[in-house]
């Protein structure tokens, strides 16, 4: 079965430290991978996506993600966390044989402490 | 440029009541969809549409109806509300019919529904 896993319900990071939010997937074929962010009481906002090409993708607000085909992972990273990065982060994958619908991870709550 | 507008933001229903969640977008997006968000479960697709007059079921369609008479509007109807439908509902849209794979979704702010 096709799936997306975000193994950590919550990640705590001190402000100024690097952060990583993990995502692994299991789909057939070449996936399209996405990260979205949800701030409190708001809808989701697009951060970045991997379609093809360079495995390191840069997105909004200084975030980047690395596609690793052998490990089927697409971890979200930022070199220096800000308190304002505190939010709920969702990984999603669009598989070619799922009528192109998105498969979503359960979300990871990121807390950045001053 | 309003993007995706959802109404109402909050709603409390009694079991068995019906209601419609409204969704409108002003970006001329072909693709529109409804998700529900429940704690620890991510987003689950309820229904989607790839254009006016075309709708299809997602992962959790039972208890919900949709229609797409115009490009702009995609209302979600709860036929007979149940406590299991207590959730936060999001409407999302994108260019294309979802088939290109790379299209980015634009989300509304959400509608929080409580069924007593």
Instruction: Collect all residues from B whose CB is shorter than 8 A from any CB in A.
Output: 4, 40-45, 48, 58, 90, 92, 98-102, 104-110
| Higher local confidence (pLDDT), B42 or B60 | B60
Task: Residue A42: list chain B partners with CB under 8 A.
Answer: 109-110
Task: Residue B4: list chain A partners with CB under 8 A.
Answer: 43
CA distance A93 to A29: 11
A14, A29, A21, A38: which is closest to A78 by C-alpha?
A21
Give the tens place of pLDDT for each residue, B11-58: 999 999 999 999 999 999 999 999 999 988 889 999 999 899 999 999
B31, B15, B17: which is closest to B91 by C-alpha?
B31
Cβ distance A102 to B105 less than 8 Å, yes or no, reads yes
- What pLDDT is stored for residue A67 in this prediction? 95
| Higher local confidence (pLDDT), A13 or B102 | A13
pLDDT confidence tier of residue A97, bands split at 50, 70 and 90: low
CA distance A46 to A90: 10
Give the tens place of pLDDT for each residue, A55-93: 999 999 999 999 999 999 999 999 999 999 999 999 999
A79, A97, A114, A91: which is closest to A38 by C-alpha?
A91
Whether A102 shows a pLDDT value over 80: the answer reads yes
Report helix, strand or coil for A85. helix
Mutation target for B interface from A57, A100, A103, A108: give the one with most B CBs within 10 A. A100
CA distance B86 to B106: 23
């Amino acid at each position: 079965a096709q799936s997306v896993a975000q193994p950590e319900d919550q990640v705590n990071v001190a402000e100024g430290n690097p952060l990583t939010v993990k995502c692994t997937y299991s789909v057939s074929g070449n996936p399209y991978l996405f990260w979205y962010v949800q701030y409190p009481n708001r809808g989701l906002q697009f951060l970045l996506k991997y379609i093809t090409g360079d495995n390191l993708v840069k997105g909004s607000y200084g975030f980047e993600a690395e596609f690793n085909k052998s490990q089927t992972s697409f971890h979200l990273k930022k070199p220096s966390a800000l308190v304002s990065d505190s939010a709920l982060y969702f990984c999603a994958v669009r598989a070619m044989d799922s009528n192109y619908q998105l498969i979503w991870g359960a979300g990871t709550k990121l807390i950045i402490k001053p | 440029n309003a993007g995706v507008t959802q109404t109402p933001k909050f709603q409390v229903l009694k079991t068995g009541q019906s209601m419609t969640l409204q969704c409108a977008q002003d970006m001329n997006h072909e693709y529109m969809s409804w998700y529900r968000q429940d704690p620890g479960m991510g987003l689950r697709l309820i229904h989607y549409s790839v254009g006016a007059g075309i709708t299809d079921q997602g992962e959790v369609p039972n208890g919900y109806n949709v229609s797409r008479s115009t490009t702009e509007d995609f209302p979600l109807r709860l036929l007979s509300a149940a406590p299991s439908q207590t959730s936060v509902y999001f409407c999302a849209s994108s260019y294309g019919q979802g088939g290109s794979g790379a299209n980015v979704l634009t989300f509304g702010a959400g509608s929080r529904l409580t069924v007593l």
